[in-house]
């Protein structure tokens, strides 16, 4: 089977294929069993059938189908494997795996794991112990020896780290473990990058007991890394490097990302053929550059292709120097005032602590500003002068403004861009016939070339430059008559700039023009920062906490648990405790990058090894077991065979002939499918406790009564409302539900249109909360019928109220009771169902109090007063419930006073009217328009 990437786990089973001809012979002999049918007119059928030849054997295609089926089953039992992997050459009493999991291993880490898995699986089959060590892990990580299962667990738990390898330490540990195991296999799964101490590391690793070596490095080192990113004048200069083995020309795109990971700029870097370095510039505006948080090479999924940036690449620090103490009373005359206002939006301004130049200049230089602005500083103390010159030579930008001191101090070739004439020039003064000069266009060669020339700036005094051969190229701005106004000179890596006017508005109007800001800003952009922001070093330096780390795949992630705070100083090594990334906090960060500008990617050289070496490639295990597929194919064939047998047996034709049966079968299939596919729709149970009671309460209109706590009162109330219900059912269309006794402190009241409340002084006073609920109920449209039932029990003396009335007053004192009045003769309550002049109960004579109607005048022509809404409160003393109350047989429970049968009828009618009033409101008062409406309709 060498021509096929196929092997069998149990090749002996394939001998079973010999049985195929036998199966074929058997299959040929046994046609499918026919359907047996009794058929009386056989003689007639025999005459027809004699003409057709009956197949005595199976059709050839069915036999073929079954043979293939048998062959598939036999092949599946033989356990075939597609693309079988070759066994890796490990032997000996132990296997030691040393795996590089540094940043360069991240892109194809899965392949490395797969390779290592194969090695471990082979070792596991042989039962030898496995030592597994990762070169970028902590030096004290557990390395074994393990059995194969534990080793695989360790392997799967490992992940690439965004840090370099530490081969010497790890290899030494492995060698130490190996010392007790003679004849061990050592598998080196390297990332292909050389590191410091490789030679010694390999020597120590292979010195002990290594019987053979499995050597795996990537086929090619195609990692591109970003070695440097510098914020230059006109953009970010990027430097990418690659390994020397990679010689093809290559183009790569770098992207810059802000703090939130948004891509805000691009640059293209080109590797020439054979070159290991590519540079490119990200030409974006200065403001945008300040938003850069990280720069990454596209398509490189490893930590080396990402650089994080901190403040040192962003805002420039500008030192300000002046010898005139700022007069706080006259800030506009301070020389630094305009500079400060112009620079503060886009630069960090540093002020020295004192005016003494000898101290303040070193103080400023210590903080490594990108630029120092000197406003009219004439003489610089000699002890600091050299420091300043060195600073400029190393890249500092010194901006000086003229003034009387500078003019008096004379020339300074090293710290002035041009040679100055002594003294100053005055234009437009009393003794001069010239006029103040405006600025001309900025020279094309200078850095201000693309700025708009200020039209309104005039210069009345300036210091003059000595003309020289190079004065033109040093001139960045000049006046209309050609004399230089701003001159600049590159000195060393740095720059010297001189404004020939003062920094305040005495000599010219330049400092108060917009161009001044533009010019200063351009100079700031030209400057470059001179180092990290933090200058504290030594024991007092504070360590910065990890803030955003570069993960092994190049993503910026929150710090892992093993990241430690970092002392912010350049040159700190990248270790597992200080992985690359940003340290600090949101307010200020320090960038800790994996590589620096001097980094190179050297390929790892295979050391001279005295023992046999096998080189393997990183690759995935591509073997596939075909057993499942073959069995699945066999099952499909089996289904086909079943269908074919059905077809031969005539089931299909029978279904066709009997469409009902076919439709039934189809419907059954569809139902089964639907049953299988459709998940049982879960029905959310949204019921809440008390739902049943609420549904019961609102199912029918129910009249409620207050459970006073006195059993006698409650039973009378209930019986009374039952009596009223019966009367309502007899006389009206209303079919009320059974009376509802409510506890006003607990029960929901809003279900009931009317609550009957018999006042009994013996009952406990309802709580404030209960009264508040009643108040809310009344405000929301409910009505409470208070019944004091004391019409004849009040004392003769009018001034004293009965106890029930007193209790009612107590209750009403806590309620928002509207103004009340006895039911007037034209109130709608007198007409809602029956026409009633009064509302007697068991007693008679007490008026029924309702909410006072707003307006009674102007409605003489109307029999009923208009008015909206329903009175929220009804008060009577007539004991309605006593008059309504009936027993189970329908007989009255209590006698009326006086004992008049009609009074009970009137009481019930009053109840009907009240109930109709509850349910229909002022409907009856609208009915008074009916005569007018009918008249208009021509009736």
Partner 1 sequence: MANIGQLQAPTIAGEALARGRGHAALVPDLLVEARRIVNTVITGWHGRKKRGIGENFWQFRPYVEGEAVNRIDWRRSARDDHTYVRDREWEAAHTVWLWADPSPSMLYKSAAAAASKQERALVLVLAVAELLSRGGERIAWPDLTDPFTARNGAERIAARLVHAPESQAKPDLSAIRRFADLVLVSDFLDPVEETFAWLDALARRGARAHLIEIADPAEETFPYAGRTEFTDPETGEKLTAGRAERLADDYRRLYIARREELAAWCRRRGWSFITNHTDRPASEALVRLHMALSADGFLTKGSAA
Interface contacts to partner 1, rule CB under 8 A: 31-32, 34-49, 51-55, 647-651, 653-654, 657-658
Min dist CB 38 to partner 1, Å, is 5
Cβ proximity to partner 1: between 37 and 935 the closer is 37
Peptide bond into 674 cis (omega under 30): no
Min dist CB 43 to partner 1, Å, is 7
Cβ proximity to partner 1: between 25 and 647 the closer is 647
Cβ proximity to partner 1: between 42 and 684 the closer is 42
Min dist CB 26 to partner 1, Å, is 19
Joined tokens for residue 171: 């290899």
Torsion of CA 260, 261, 266, 268, to 10 degrees: 150
Helix (H) / strand (E) containing 546: strand 546-550
- Other beta carbons within 10 Å of 631: 15
Cβ proximity to partner 1: between 220 and 656 the closer is 656
Q: What are φ and ψ of residue 277, in 5° steps?
A: -125, 140
Cβ proximity to partner 1: between 409 and 648 the closer is 648
Min dist CB 650 to partner 1, Å, is 2
SS3 sequence, 458-470?
EECEEEEECCCCC
Q: Which of 342, 346, 392 is nearest to 370 (CA)?
A: 392
Q: Do 796 and 815 form a contact (C-beta atoms < 8 A)?
A: no
Joined tokens for residue 445: 């060669």
**Quick one: DSSP state of residue 937?**
T
Cβ proximity to partner 1: between 66 and 301 the closer is 66
Min dist CB 643 to partner 1, Å, is 13
Q: Do 728 and 702 form a contact (C-beta atoms < 8 A)?
A: no
Return the half-sphere exposure (C-beta side, CA atoms, 13 A cut-off) of residue 821.
12
Min dist CB 681 to partner 1, Å, is 38
Min dist CB 49 to partner 1, Å, is 5
Instruction: Kindly give, in sequence order, each residue whose CB lies less than 8 Å from that of residue 865, ignoring residues fewer than 6 positions away.
Output: 824, 826, 827, 828, 853, 855, 856, 859, 925
Instruction: Kindly give, in sequence order, each residue whose CB lies less than 8 Å from that of residue 288, ignoring residues fewer than 6 positions away.
Output: 264, 265
Min dist CB 662 to partner 1, Å, is 13
Min dist CB 62 to partner 1, Å, is 12
Min dist CB 27 to partner 1, Å, is 16
Q: Which of 907, 645, 643 is nearest to 34 (CA)?
A: 645
Instruction: Kindly give, in sequence order, each residue whose CB lies less than 8 Å from that of residue 871, ignoring residues fewer than 6 positions away.
Output: 783, 818, 829, 850, 851
Cβ proximity to partner 1: between 652 and 776 the closer is 652
User: Which residues does residue 849 pair with via DSSP β-bridges, in sequence order?
Assistant: 822, 875
Instruction: Kindly give, in sequence order, each residue whose CB lies less than 8 Å from that of residue 81, ignoring residues fewer than 6 positions away.
Output: 6, 7, 8, 9, 623, 624, 625, 626
Cβ proximity to partner 1: between 42 and 932 the closer is 42
What is the total residue count of the chain?
A: 939
Min dist CB 644 to partner 1, Å, is 12
Min dist CB 639 to partner 1, Å, is 18
Cβ proximity to partner 1: between 47 and 936 the closer is 47
Min dist CB 11 to partner 1, Å, is 41
Min dist CB 660 to partner 1, Å, is 12
The Cα 228–Cα 422 span in angstroms is 46
b/e burial code for range 83-114 (CB count within 10 A of at least 16 → b): ebbeebbbebebbbbbbbbbbbbbbbbebbbb
- Which long-range contacts link 886-891 to residues 24+ away (Cβ below 8 Å)? 886/719, 886/722, 886/723, 886/726, 887/719, 890/726
Cβ proximity to partner 1: between 37 and 798 the closer is 37
Cβ proximity to partner 1: between 472 and 648 the closer is 648
Cβ proximity to partner 1: between 41 and 898 the closer is 41
Cβ proximity to partner 1: between 658 and 731 the closer is 658
Cβ proximity to partner 1: between 597 and 666 the closer is 666
The Cα 139–Cα 133 span in angstroms is 10
The Cα 298–Cα 301 span in angstroms is 8
Task: Write the DSSP string, 440-504.
Answer: -PPPTTSTTTTSPPPSS-EESEEEEEPP-TTHHHHEEEEBTTS-EEEEEEEETTEEEEEESS-SS
């Amino acid at each position: 089977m060498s021509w096929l990437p196929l092997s069998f786990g149990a090749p002996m089973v394939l001998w079973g294929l010999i049985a195929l001809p036998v199966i074929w012979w058997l299959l040929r002999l046994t046609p499918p069993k026919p359907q047996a049918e009794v058929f009386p007119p056989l003689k007639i059928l025999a005459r027809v059938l004699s003409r057709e030849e009956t197949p005595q054997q199976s059709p050839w295609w069915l036999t073929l189908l079954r043979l293939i089926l048998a062959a598939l089953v036999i092949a599946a039992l033989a356990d075939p494997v597609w693309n079988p992997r070759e066994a890796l050459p490990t032997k000996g009493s132990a296997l030691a795996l040393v795996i590089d999991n540094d940043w360069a291993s991240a892109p194809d880490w899965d392949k490395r794991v797969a390779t290592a898995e194969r090695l471990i699986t082979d070792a596991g089959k042989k039962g030898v112990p496995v030592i597994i060590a990762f070169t970028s892990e902590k030096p004290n990580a557990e390395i074994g020896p393990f059995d194969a299962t534990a080793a695989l667990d360790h392997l799967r738990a490992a992940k690439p780290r965004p840090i370099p390898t530490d081969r010497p330490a790890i290899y030494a540990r492995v060698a130490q473990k190996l010392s007790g195991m003679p004849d061990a296999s050592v598998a080196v799964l390297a990332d292909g990058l050389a590191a410091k101490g490789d030679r010694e590391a390999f020597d120590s690793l292979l010195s002990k007991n290594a019987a053979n070596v499995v050597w795996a490095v990537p086929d090619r080192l195609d990692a591109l890394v970003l070695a440097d990113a510098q914020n230059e004048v006109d953009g970010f200069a990027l430097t990418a490097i690659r390994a020397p083995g990679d010689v093809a020309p290559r183009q790569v795109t770098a992207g810059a990302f802000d703090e939130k990971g948004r891509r805000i700029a691009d640059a293209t870097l080109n590797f020439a053929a054979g070159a290991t370095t590519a540079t490119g510039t990200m030409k974006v505006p200065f403001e945008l550059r300040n938003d850069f948080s990280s720069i990454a090479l596209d398509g490189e999924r490893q930590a080396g292709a990402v650089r994080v940036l901190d403040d040192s690449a962003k805002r420039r620090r500008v030192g300000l120097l002046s010898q005139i103490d700022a007069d706080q009373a006259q800030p506009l005359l301070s020389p630094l005032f305009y500079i400060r206002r112009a620079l503060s939006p886009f630069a960090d301004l540093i002020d020295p602590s004192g005016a003494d130049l000898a101290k303040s200049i070193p103080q400023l230089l210590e903080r490594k500003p990108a630029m120092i602005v000197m406003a009219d500083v004439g003489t610089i103390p000699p002890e600091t002068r050299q420091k300043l010159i060195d600073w400029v030579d190393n890249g500092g930008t010194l901006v000086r403004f003229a003034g009387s001191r500078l003019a008096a101090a004379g020339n300074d070739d090293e710290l002035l861009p041009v040679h100055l004439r002594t003294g100053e020039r005055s234009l437009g003064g009393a003794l001069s016939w010239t006029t103040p000069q405006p600025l001309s266009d900025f020279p094309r060669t200078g850095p201000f070339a693309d700025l708009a020339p200020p039209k309104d700036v005039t210069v009345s005094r300036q210091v003059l430059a000595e003309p020289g051969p190079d004065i033109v190229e040093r001139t960045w701005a000049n006046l209309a008559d050609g004399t230089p106004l701003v001159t600049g000179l590159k000195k060393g890596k740095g720059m010297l700039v001189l404004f020939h006017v003062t920094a305040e508005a005495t000599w010219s109007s330049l400092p108060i023009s917009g161009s001044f800001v533009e010019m200063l800003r351009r100079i700031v952009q030209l400057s470059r920062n001179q180092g990290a922001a933090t200058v504290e070093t030594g024991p007092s330096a504070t360590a910065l906490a990890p803030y955003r780390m570069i993960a092994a795949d190049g993503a910026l992630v929150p710090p892992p648990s093993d990241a430690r705070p970092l002392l912010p100083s350049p040159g700190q090594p990248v270790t597992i405790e200080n992985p690359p990334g940003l340290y600090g906090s949101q307010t200020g960060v320090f960038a800790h990058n994996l590589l620096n500008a001097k980094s190179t990617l050297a390929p790892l050289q295979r050391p001279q090894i005295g023992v046999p070496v096998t080189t393997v490639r990183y690759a995935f295990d591509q073997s596939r077991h075909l057993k499942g597929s073959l069995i699945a194919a066999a099952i499909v064939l089996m289904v086909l065979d079943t269908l074919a047998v059905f077809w031969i047996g005539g089931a299909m034709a029978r279904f066709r002939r009997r469409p009902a049966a076919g439709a039934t079968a189809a419907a059954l299939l569809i139902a089964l499918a639907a049953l299988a596919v459709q998940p049982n729709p879960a029905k959310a149970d949204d019921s809440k406790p008390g739902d049943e009671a609420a549904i019961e309460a609102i199912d029918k209109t129910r009249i409620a009564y207050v459970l006073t706590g006195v059993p006698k009162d409650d039973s009378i109330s209930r019986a009374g409302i039952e009596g009223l219900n019966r009367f309502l059912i007899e006389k009206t269309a209303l079919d009320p539900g059974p009376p509802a006794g409510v506890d006003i402190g607990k029960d929901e009241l809003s279900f009931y249109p009317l609550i009957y409340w018999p006042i009994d002084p013996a009952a406990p006073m309802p709580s404030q909360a209960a009264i508040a609920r009643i108040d809310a109920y009344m405000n929301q449209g409910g009505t409470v019928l208070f019944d004091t039932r004391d019409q004849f029990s009040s004392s003769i003396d009018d001034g004293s109220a009965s106890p029930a009335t007193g209790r009612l007053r107590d209750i009403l004192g806590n309620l928002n009771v509207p103004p009340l009045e006895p039911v007037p003769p034209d109130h709608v309550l007198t007409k809602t169902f029956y026409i009633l002049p009064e509302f007697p109960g068991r007693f008679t004579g007490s008026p029924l109090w309702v909410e006072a109607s707003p307006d009674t005048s102007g409605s003489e022509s109307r029999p009923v007063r208009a008015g909206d809404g329903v009175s929220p409160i009804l008060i009577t003393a007539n004991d309605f419930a006593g008059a309504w109350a009936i027993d189970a047989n329908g007989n009255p429970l209590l006698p009326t006073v006086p004992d008049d049968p009609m009074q009970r009828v009137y009481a019930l009618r009053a109840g009907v009217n009240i109930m109709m009033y509850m349910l229909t409101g002022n409907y009856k008062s609208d009915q008074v328009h009916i005569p007018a409406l009918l008249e208009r309709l021509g009736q």
